[in-house]
Amino acid sequence: MKKIIVISVLSFILLSCGIFSNSVFVENDKVMDSKRVIYEAYFTNNKRYEQSYSQNITFLKEIDRNHKITYSVYDVITLPSESFDIDPDKLYLIIDEEILPLQTTFNKQFNNRNITEKKSEIMKSDSTKVSVVTGYDVVNKKSVQMTHVFDNQTINKIRRASIVNLRYYLGASYINTEIKGGNLRKLKALINK
């Protein structure tokens, strides 16, 4: 019993510190002669009445051969197929209480269809079981790809922030991605590398 408690406490501590979550990676890109710092994070809806979504964000810091630094955010949001489109004129970055328009340089939308078989086992006359297809589940979703570029002034505000939000409006609803806690610490680690 004591071993289970100790293992549970250690697991909780390691998860709290972010040991098992995504990390900030640094790589040298020989082809482009640049240094790349990457952090990838995954988000889902976090408020009761918020639009249902999942989001994969990759933060990229690039330092070229002339020591010029650029910050890009590669953003993929997956929505139910019946949801409204994201309004390209209503994209915001909220740093603590300051609201800034989010500069999006590329926006692409495409639809996905995932078909899975429903199976069940039936008993044959010789008492052997066989698996048969009893139906199909079809899930239609749409994905939106966006690229955002952050300037140095925005990056300096994020350095000092206690919370950063990405806000997107679609129809009567919105998506509010909260970058806080461990995710914000890792984003700041990317900025400082």
Q: Which of 1-5, 23-27, 35-39 has the lowest mean pLDDT?
A: 1-5
pLDDT, tens digit, for every residue of 11-35? 544 444 433 446 899 999 999 999 9
Strands 129-150 and 91-95: unpaired
126 vs 35, 39, 122, 129, 132, CA distance in Å? 66, 57, 11, 9, 16
Residue 103 has pLDDT above 60, yes or no: yes
This prediction has a pTM of 0.73
DSSP, collapsed to helix, strand or coil, labels residue 13 as helix
pLDDT of residue 66: 93
pLDDT of residue 155: 96
Domains and CATH numbers, the chain: 24-111+140-192 (2.60.40.10)
Residue 140 has pLDDT above 90, yes or no: no
Ranges assigned E (strand) in the chain: 25-29, 34-44, 54-63, 69-80, 91-95, 98-101, 104-123, 129-150, 164-170, 173-179
Mean pLDDT computed over every residue of the chain: 84
Q: What is the mean pLDDT of residues 92-104?
A: 94
Residues ≥6 apart with Cβ < 8 Å to 33: 64, 65
| H or E element at residue 10 | helix 2-17
| Residue, of 125 and 82, whose pLDDT is higher | 82
pLDDT, tens digit, for every residue of 156-182? 999 999 999 999 999 889 999 999 999
pLDDT of residue 44: 87
133 vs 33, 113, 114, 125, CA distance in Å? 53, 19, 16, 18
